[in-house]
Chains A and B, each alone.
Chain A
Amino acid sequence: MVTTALFFVFAGLAIACAISMVYHRNPLYSAISLVGVFISLSCIYLTLAAPFIAAVQILIYAGAIMVLVVFVIMLLNLDDEPTANRLKYLWALGAGLGVLLLAQTFFIFYAVMRAPNVPSDQNLTAGKTMNIGQAMYTEYLLPVEIVGVLLLMAIIGSVILVRRLKQPKLELVVDNELELRHEEKPLI
């Protein structure tokens, strides 16, 4: 009973924060709302008896990724998004897609309700950190290694992307193109 009450409280909070994220035009408000979604989802993971995933959700999503996003928003000094002056049809398209996806969702809801009821696993062993660690380093060792390589590639890739390239010395320059280039020097 308590689990159900907690689920509905945090589900409502998650949906409210998600709508607020899409609604706000200021990217910083969106980021804060998204942190709210992550924290409510973390609490829902706790009601699902998955404490490890809940902790990792807070650490990685709310702790690392959102700090990075807020850092970039502050670095770029973004203003409010201007109101759309074109692409009015996107509203119709987006609303249509939203209605379609929601209908699909509730069809799945209906189908699962009709299906034979799945009793939840009562011994609650799956979510324990020890079991996850054991599975991670025995049965799923290769995927974990591959994810490590992927993270290394992401580090190298982002360093190469953001690195400022030196201007090549020898270049064919016509007339006063060089002055023009110096004028439009990037801000950061």
Chain B
Amino acid sequence: MEPSLASYLALSGVLFTIGAVGVIFKRNAIGMFMCIELMLNAVNLTFVAFSRYYGDVTGQLFVFMVMSVAAAEAAVGLGIIIAFFRNKQSVDVDDASLMRN
């Protein structure tokens, strides 16, 4: 006996929820970045679970693509955070409100 598809989807949903709530609660740009990575992983879990239950390789290929995009996102995102830190000496997203006032 093995866990049903629904339990994998439920785990994925819980992880995605934690990530989405974390993006709202965190004020640190790096913290928000890590929460986004968590959400990407939750989606990857659904892809692999469906791939297992339908016996199709496409889901795992898609996971591979998502991982590549996450790596690209990490490089560019951390570059933006470093450039922001140089200008403001802070990574707090509340300091990035130059356009507001």
Contacts and interface: CB of A to CB of B under 8 A. Distances in A.
Interface of A: 1, 3-4, 7-8, 11, 14-15, 18-19, 21-22, 27, 30-31, 34, 37-38, 41, 44-45, 47-50, 52-53, 56-57, 60-61, 64-65, 68-69, 72-73, 75-76, 78, 81, 84, 90-91, 93-95, 97-98, 101-102, 104-106, 108-109, 112-113, 117-121, 123, 125-127, 131-132, 135-136, 140, 143, 147, 150-151, 153-155, 157-158, 161-162, 186-188
Contacts, number: 242
Contacts of A50: 48, 51-52, 60
B interface, by DSSP: helix, strand, loop or mixed? helix
Interface residues of B, number: 74
Nearest to B89: A187
Majority-rule SS of A interface residues: helix
A15 B14 contact: yes
A188 B86 CA distance: 6
Contacts of A3: 1-3
Contact of A81 (B22, B31, B63): B31
Contact of A78 (B13, B26, B28): B28
B75 A155 contact: yes
Interface string B1-34: 1111111111101111111111011111011011
B75 A154 contact: yes
B30 A27 contact: yes
The list of the 3 closest CB pairs from A to B, nearest first, reads A121-B55, A105-B13, A154-B72
Contact of B30 (A11, A45, A64, A72): A72
A90 B25 contact: yes
B64 A136 contact: yes
17 contacts: A3-B1, A4-B1, A15-B11, A38-B41, A45-B45, A50-B51, A53-B48, A61-B67, A61-B70, A68-B74, A84-B27, A97-B21, A126-B51, A127-B52, A132-B64, A147-B68, A158-B75
A100 to B, nearest CB: 9
B79 A143 contact: no
A80 to B, nearest CB: 9
Nearest to B16: A101
A27 B81 CA distance: 14
Contacts of A49: 52
Contacts of A41: 41, 44-45
Contact of A19 (B7, B18, B91): B18
A61 B41 CA distance: 9
